[in-house]
Amino acid sequence: MSDLEPRAPFGARLRRVMDERGPLCVGIDPHAALLSSWGLADDIAGLEAFTRACVEALADTVAVVKPQSAFFERFGSRGIAVLEKAVAELRAAGTLVVMDAKRGDIGSTMAAYAQTFLDPGSPLFSDALTVSPYLGYGSLKPAVDLARESGSGLFVLALTSNPEGGEVQHAVRADGRDVGATMLAHLAEENAEDAAEDAAEVPMGSFGAVVGATLGDLSSYDLDINGPLLAPGIGAQGATAADLPAVFGAAVRNVVPNVSRGVLRAGPSVPALREAAARFADEVREAVAAAA
Protein backbone atom coordinates (compact mmCIF):
# COMPACT_ATOMS: atom_id res chain seq x y z
CA MET A 1 0.00 0.00 0.00
CA SER A 2 1.37 3.42 -0.90
CA ASP A 3 1.26 6.42 1.42
CA LEU A 4 -1.27 8.03 -0.90
CA GLU A 5 -3.83 5.27 -0.20
CA PRO A 6 -6.13 5.14 2.87
CA ARG A 7 -4.58 3.59 5.97
CA ALA A 8 -5.81 2.34 9.30
CA PRO A 9 -5.72 5.09 11.94
CA PHE A 10 -2.42 5.57 13.74
CA GLY A 11 -3.80 4.32 17.07
CA ALA A 12 -4.92 1.03 15.53
CA ARG A 13 -1.57 0.51 13.82
CA LEU A 14 0.31 1.43 16.99
CA ARG A 15 -1.68 -1.02 19.10
CA ARG A 16 -0.97 -3.81 16.63
CA VAL A 17 2.78 -3.20 16.32
CA MET A 18 3.20 -2.74 20.09
CA ASP A 19 1.51 -6.09 20.67
CA GLU A 20 3.73 -7.75 18.04
CA ARG A 21 7.13 -6.21 18.80
CA GLY A 22 6.78 -4.96 22.36
CA PRO A 23 5.80 -1.49 23.63
CA LEU A 24 9.00 0.45 23.04
CA CYS A 25 10.01 3.63 21.23
CA VAL A 26 13.71 4.20 20.52
CA GLY A 27 14.91 7.74 19.87
CA ILE A 28 17.44 8.57 17.18
CA ASP A 29 19.28 11.56 18.65
CA PRO A 30 22.56 12.18 16.79
CA HIS A 31 23.94 14.92 18.99
CA ALA A 32 27.62 15.81 18.86
CA ALA A 33 28.66 13.99 22.04
CA LEU A 34 27.04 10.76 20.91
CA LEU A 35 28.63 10.95 17.47
CA SER A 36 31.99 11.41 19.19
CA SER A 37 31.42 8.43 21.48
CA TRP A 38 30.85 6.32 18.37
CA GLY A 39 34.14 7.55 16.91
CA LEU A 40 32.35 9.66 14.31
CA ALA A 41 32.98 13.25 13.27
CA ASP A 42 30.31 15.86 13.95
CA ASP A 43 29.65 16.36 10.24
CA ILE A 44 27.33 15.07 7.54
CA ALA A 45 29.39 11.90 7.04
CA GLY A 46 29.15 11.15 10.75
CA LEU A 47 25.43 11.83 10.73
CA GLU A 48 24.93 9.50 7.77
CA ALA A 49 26.94 6.68 9.38
CA PHE A 50 25.14 7.06 12.72
CA THR A 51 21.70 7.12 11.14
CA ARG A 52 22.44 4.19 8.83
CA ALA A 53 23.47 2.03 11.80
CA CYS A 54 20.36 2.99 13.77
CA VAL A 55 18.04 2.20 10.88
CA GLU A 56 19.75 -1.13 10.24
CA ALA A 57 19.47 -2.08 13.91
CA LEU A 58 15.95 -0.85 14.62
CA ALA A 59 13.92 -1.22 11.43
CA ASP A 60 11.70 -4.29 11.52
CA THR A 61 12.60 -4.94 15.17
CA VAL A 62 11.09 -2.23 17.42
CA ALA A 63 7.57 -0.88 17.37
CA VAL A 64 8.36 2.83 17.16
CA VAL A 65 11.37 4.98 16.30
CA LYS A 66 11.46 8.68 17.20
CA PRO A 67 13.99 10.78 15.28
CA GLN A 68 14.76 14.12 16.92
CA SER A 69 14.42 16.50 13.99
CA ALA A 70 16.66 19.21 15.46
CA PHE A 71 19.76 17.02 15.31
CA PHE A 72 19.26 16.60 11.57
CA GLU A 73 18.15 20.18 10.89
CA ARG A 74 21.41 21.54 12.30
CA PHE A 75 23.19 20.16 9.21
CA GLY A 76 20.90 22.04 6.83
CA SER A 77 19.46 20.53 3.67
CA ARG A 78 21.91 17.61 3.67
CA GLY A 79 20.87 16.69 7.18
CA ILE A 80 17.20 16.83 6.21
CA ALA A 81 17.98 14.52 3.28
CA VAL A 82 19.44 11.98 5.74
CA LEU A 83 16.30 12.26 7.85
CA GLU A 84 14.03 11.79 4.83
CA LYS A 85 15.83 8.60 3.86
CA ALA A 86 15.71 7.23 7.40
CA VAL A 87 11.97 7.90 7.70
CA ALA A 88 11.25 6.16 4.41
CA GLU A 89 13.35 3.10 5.25
CA LEU A 90 11.95 2.70 8.77
CA ARG A 91 8.37 2.97 7.59
CA ALA A 92 8.98 0.57 4.70
CA ALA A 93 10.10 -1.99 7.31
CA GLY A 94 6.87 -1.61 9.27
CA THR A 95 8.36 0.44 12.09
CA LEU A 96 6.22 3.43 13.02
CA VAL A 97 7.96 6.79 12.94
CA VAL A 98 7.12 9.51 15.46
CA MET A 99 8.78 12.71 14.32
CA ASP A 100 9.97 14.57 17.39
CA ALA A 101 9.71 18.14 16.12
CA LYS A 102 7.51 19.67 18.86
CA ARG A 103 5.93 22.11 16.42
CA GLY A 104 3.39 24.64 17.63
CA ASP A 105 2.05 27.81 16.03
CA ILE A 106 -1.16 29.37 14.80
CA GLY A 107 -3.18 29.47 11.61
CA SER A 108 -1.44 28.96 8.30
CA THR A 109 1.93 28.42 9.97
CA MET A 110 0.61 25.50 12.00
CA ALA A 111 -1.00 24.17 8.83
CA ALA A 112 2.39 24.32 7.07
CA TYR A 113 4.08 22.44 9.90
CA ALA A 114 1.33 19.82 9.71
CA GLN A 115 1.77 19.47 5.95
CA THR A 116 5.51 18.96 6.41
CA PHE A 117 5.10 15.89 8.61
CA LEU A 118 1.51 14.66 8.21
CA ASP A 119 0.80 15.07 4.49
CA PRO A 120 1.27 11.74 2.67
CA GLY A 121 2.85 13.59 -0.25
CA SER A 122 5.63 15.07 1.89
CA PRO A 123 9.11 13.49 1.90
CA LEU A 124 9.07 13.78 5.71
CA PHE A 125 5.66 12.13 6.10
CA SER A 126 5.64 10.37 9.46
CA ASP A 127 3.20 8.17 11.34
CA ALA A 128 2.90 10.75 14.12
CA LEU A 129 4.26 14.12 15.20
CA THR A 130 5.03 15.68 18.57
CA VAL A 131 3.36 19.08 18.97
CA SER A 132 3.32 21.87 21.53
CA PRO A 133 -0.10 23.21 22.59
CA TYR A 134 1.12 26.24 24.50
CA LEU A 135 -0.37 28.75 22.09
CA GLY A 136 -3.66 27.19 23.14
CA TYR A 137 -4.91 23.71 22.32
CA GLY A 138 -7.14 25.13 19.60
CA SER A 139 -4.06 26.31 17.71
CA LEU A 140 -3.35 22.64 16.92
CA LYS A 141 -6.53 22.24 14.88
CA PRO A 142 -4.76 22.18 11.46
CA ALA A 143 -2.58 19.31 12.70
CA VAL A 144 -5.53 17.50 14.29
CA ASP A 145 -7.54 17.76 11.07
CA LEU A 146 -4.72 16.60 8.81
CA ALA A 147 -3.80 13.75 11.16
CA ARG A 148 -7.36 12.46 10.95
CA GLU A 149 -7.40 12.81 7.17
CA SER A 150 -4.08 11.02 6.65
CA GLY A 151 -4.45 8.32 9.32
CA SER A 152 -1.58 9.81 11.34
CA GLY A 153 -1.30 10.65 15.02
CA LEU A 154 -0.20 13.42 17.35
CA PHE A 155 1.60 13.42 20.67
CA VAL A 156 0.78 16.61 22.56
CA LEU A 157 3.11 17.87 25.28
CA ALA A 158 1.12 17.51 28.49
CA LEU A 159 3.26 16.54 31.50
CA THR A 160 6.87 16.56 30.37
CA SER A 161 9.86 15.23 32.27
CA ASN A 162 11.95 18.42 32.15
CA PRO A 163 11.88 20.35 35.45
CA GLU A 164 11.10 23.67 33.72
CA GLY A 165 7.83 22.32 32.36
CA GLY A 166 6.03 22.57 35.66
CA GLU A 167 5.71 26.36 35.65
CA VAL A 168 3.38 26.09 32.66
CA GLN A 169 1.93 22.59 32.90
CA HIS A 170 1.07 22.80 36.61
CA ALA A 171 -0.39 26.30 36.40
CA VAL A 172 -3.98 26.19 37.70
CA ARG A 173 -6.76 27.58 35.56
CA ALA A 174 -9.83 29.43 36.77
CA ASP A 175 -11.81 26.17 36.69
CA GLY A 176 -9.40 24.62 39.22
CA ARG A 177 -7.78 22.24 36.73
CA ASP A 178 -4.14 22.64 35.84
CA VAL A 179 -2.90 23.06 32.28
CA GLY A 180 -1.49 19.54 31.97
CA ALA A 181 -4.80 18.00 33.00
CA THR A 182 -6.59 20.28 30.54
CA MET A 183 -4.45 18.95 27.68
CA LEU A 184 -5.24 15.38 28.71
CA ALA A 185 -8.95 16.20 28.72
CA HIS A 186 -8.77 17.65 25.21
CA LEU A 187 -7.08 14.49 23.96
CA ALA A 188 -9.67 12.26 25.61
CA GLU A 189 -12.34 14.21 23.73
CA GLU A 190 -10.52 13.77 20.40
CA ASN A 191 -10.21 10.02 20.91
CA ALA A 192 -13.81 9.68 22.09
CA GLU A 193 -14.97 11.39 18.90
CA ASP A 194 -13.07 8.90 16.74
CA ALA A 195 -14.21 5.89 18.77
CA ALA A 196 -17.82 7.01 18.46
CA GLU A 197 -17.50 6.98 14.68
CA ASP A 198 -16.00 3.48 14.40
CA ALA A 199 -15.34 1.76 17.72
CA ALA A 200 -14.51 -1.58 16.07
CA GLU A 201 -11.62 -0.03 14.14
CA VAL A 202 -10.27 2.12 16.98
CA PRO A 203 -8.85 -0.08 19.78
CA MET A 204 -6.75 2.92 20.81
CA GLY A 205 -7.11 6.53 19.74
CA SER A 206 -4.57 8.34 17.57
CA PHE A 207 -4.21 11.44 19.74
CA GLY A 208 -1.68 10.88 22.49
CA ALA A 209 0.09 12.80 25.21
CA VAL A 210 3.73 13.16 26.18
CA VAL A 211 3.93 12.24 29.86
CA GLY A 212 7.31 11.79 31.55
CA ALA A 213 8.14 8.42 33.07
CA THR A 214 10.22 10.21 35.72
CA LEU A 215 7.32 12.14 37.27
CA GLY A 216 6.40 9.64 39.98
CA ASP A 217 2.84 9.20 41.18
CA LEU A 218 0.40 10.69 38.65
CA SER A 219 -2.74 9.28 40.23
CA SER A 220 -4.19 12.79 40.55
CA TYR A 221 -4.37 12.98 36.74
CA ASP A 222 -6.84 11.14 34.52
CA LEU A 223 -4.48 9.38 32.13
CA ASP A 224 -7.25 7.27 30.64
CA ILE A 225 -7.49 9.23 27.39
CA ASN A 226 -8.00 6.07 25.28
CA GLY A 227 -4.86 7.07 23.44
CA PRO A 228 -1.12 6.44 23.66
CA LEU A 229 1.12 8.01 26.28
CA LEU A 230 4.63 8.66 24.98
CA ALA A 231 6.83 8.37 28.05
CA PRO A 232 10.39 9.71 27.87
CA GLY A 233 12.76 9.13 30.74
CA ILE A 234 13.53 5.40 30.62
CA GLY A 235 17.23 4.63 30.80
CA ALA A 236 19.69 7.51 31.05
CA GLN A 237 17.17 9.86 32.71
CA GLY A 238 16.72 7.44 35.59
CA ALA A 239 13.34 5.78 35.16
CA THR A 240 13.08 2.01 34.64
CA ALA A 241 10.51 -0.26 33.06
CA ALA A 242 9.57 -1.46 36.53
CA ASP A 243 8.51 2.10 37.45
CA LEU A 244 5.85 2.32 34.73
CA PRO A 245 2.90 0.68 36.55
CA ALA A 246 3.34 2.95 39.57
CA VAL A 247 3.54 6.08 37.41
CA PHE A 248 0.78 5.30 34.92
CA GLY A 249 -1.54 3.01 36.85
CA ALA A 250 -4.38 1.51 34.83
CA ALA A 251 -3.24 3.35 31.69
CA VAL A 252 0.08 1.47 31.57
CA ARG A 253 -0.97 -0.74 28.63
CA ASN A 254 -1.18 2.36 26.43
CA VAL A 255 2.24 3.65 27.45
CA VAL A 256 4.95 3.89 24.78
CA PRO A 257 8.18 4.22 26.79
CA ASN A 258 10.92 6.11 24.98
CA VAL A 259 14.57 5.13 25.34
CA SER A 260 17.29 7.05 23.53
CA ARG A 261 20.74 7.09 25.13
CA GLY A 262 20.08 3.82 26.94
CA VAL A 263 20.05 2.08 23.55
CA LEU A 264 22.23 4.39 21.47
CA ARG A 265 25.25 4.20 23.76
CA ALA A 266 25.52 0.52 22.74
CA GLY A 267 26.60 1.64 19.25
CA PRO A 268 28.16 1.75 16.79
CA SER A 269 27.75 -2.04 16.68
CA VAL A 270 24.47 -2.87 14.94
CA PRO A 271 24.04 -6.19 16.80
CA ALA A 272 24.72 -4.43 20.12
CA LEU A 273 22.14 -1.74 19.33
CA ARG A 274 19.60 -4.39 18.40
CA GLU A 275 20.33 -6.35 21.58
CA ALA A 276 19.96 -3.25 23.77
CA ALA A 277 16.61 -2.38 22.19
CA ALA A 278 15.38 -5.97 22.60
CA ARG A 279 16.39 -5.96 26.26
CA PHE A 280 14.43 -2.77 26.99
CA ALA A 281 11.42 -4.06 25.05
CA ASP A 282 11.42 -7.29 27.07
CA GLU A 283 11.68 -5.37 30.34
CA VAL A 284 8.73 -3.16 29.42
CA ARG A 285 6.65 -6.12 28.24
CA GLU A 286 7.27 -7.93 31.52
CA ALA A 287 6.42 -4.86 33.62
CA VAL A 288 3.16 -4.28 31.75
CA ALA A 289 2.20 -7.95 31.95
CA ALA A 290 2.88 -8.03 35.69
CA ALA A 291 0.58 -5.05 36.19
CA ALA A 292 -2.31 -6.58 34.23
| Catalytically active residues, by annotation | 102
| Nearest residue to 227 via CA among 197, 259, 282, 190 | 190
Alpha carbon 241 to chain centroid, angstroms = 17
Q: DSSP letters along 136-165, please?
A: -GGGGHHHHHHHHHHT-EEEEEEE-SSGGG
Residue 17 has a CB neighbour count (10 Å cut-off) of 18
Amino acid making up residue 251: A
DSSP state of 171: P
- Is residue 270 within 8 Å of 56, Cβ to Cβ? yes
The C-alpha angle 101, 30, 230, rounded to 5 degrees, equals 45
Alpha carbon 196 to chain centroid, angstroms = 25
| Nearest residue to 208 via CA among 256, 142, 166, 244 | 256
Alpha carbon 251 to chain centroid, angstroms = 17
Cα distance between residue 234 and residue 231, in whole Å = 8
Cα distance between residue 82 and residue 160, in whole Å = 28
